[in-house]
Amino acid sequence: MRKFILLFVTAVVTSILFVGCLNKNQIETNETVDTSKNVEKTTDDVSKNVENKNEQTKQEKDELEFIEIKGKRAMIVEGSNLKNPYIITVNSEGVKKRKKLSDDKIFALKKNDLVVVIDEDDETCRVVQAFGDIPRLRGTIEKSKLDFDSSNFKKSANQVVLNNVMCYVSINGDEQGSQSGVYQISERKDEWVRISMPGGASDLWVKEKDLSYDFDTLIIDCDE
């Protein structure tokens, strides 16, 4: 009888120890799984942080600093297509952005068009259209295709500035009142030029001696 009781007690103790071992193994397995999940979560968090920092760096790169640049007047001496064309836009919050334009499109400057040079090196210049629609076209052109001698503007330039200048219906014709602003020259004859009027109005003539090419060269852009 004692032997039977001893065997029974031994069996019970063994069962308890076996179950305990199983539970311990299960707990260790669960802890291992949890640890793996935590490692994966930590790795994901690190990856996201790296991505966020990279995105922030990219945004900071894109947010260029805009400054006032005192440019130089120049005239195109040979029709050319702008390289790396872009415009400056302003969003609803008044923030300026530099918008690159497609290189697949042609952005041409005509011979004798006036431009403002805002940056230059030995071979190329970064220019802005002196006149035209807003926002004005900007880009790079070969330096050899520019004339910086303002004395040549009055002989050939396509654009002109009028400052309260008397206009005429024809050469030596009737006066048509004074005009101020920027105009496109459509014809030159003797000491007169014919200017195109906005809104489809008839062209007018002005005396060449009254013309000005002293257009504004202060440009807001990025200092590259």
- Which CATH number belongs to the domain containing residue 113 in this structure? 2.30.30
Average pLDDT, the chain: 81
Residues 6+ apart with CB under 8 A from 123: 142, 143, 144
Question: pLDDT tier at 183 (50, 70, 90 boundaries)?
Answer: very high
- 124 and 195: one domain? no
- 127 and 176: one domain? no
What's the pLDDT tens digit per position in 16-52? Answer: 544 454 455 555 555 555 555 554 555 565 556 556 5
Do the beta carbons of residue 158 and residue 110 sit within 8 Å? yes
- 141 and 171: one domain? no
Query: Exposed, middle or buried, 135 (CB in 10 Å: 0-12/13-18/19+)?
Result: middle
Higher pLDDT, 222 or 68: 68
> Could you give the number of structural domains in the chain?
2
Question: pLDDT tier at 172 (50, 70, 90 boundaries)?
Answer: very high
Higher pLDDT, 209 or 198: 209
- CA gap 175, 197 in Å, rounded: 15
- 91 and 126: one domain? yes
- 89 and 116: one domain? yes
Domain housing 133: 66-151
- 103 and 131: one domain? yes
Instruction: Identify the domain boundary among 101, 120, 151.
Output: 151
Which residue in 152, 148, 109, 112 sits closest to 129, CA to CA?
Answer: 109
Question: What pTM was estimated for this model as a whole?
Answer: 0.69
- 133 and 170: one domain? no
37 lies in a domain?
no
Cis, bond preceding 85 (omega within 30 deg of 0): no
Higher pLDDT, 141 or 29: 141
12 lies in a domain?
no
Percent of the chain with pLDDT over 90: 58
Which residue in 107, 213, 202, 197 sits closest to 158, CA to CA?
Answer: 213
| Strand-strand pairing, 114-120 and 83-90 | unpaired
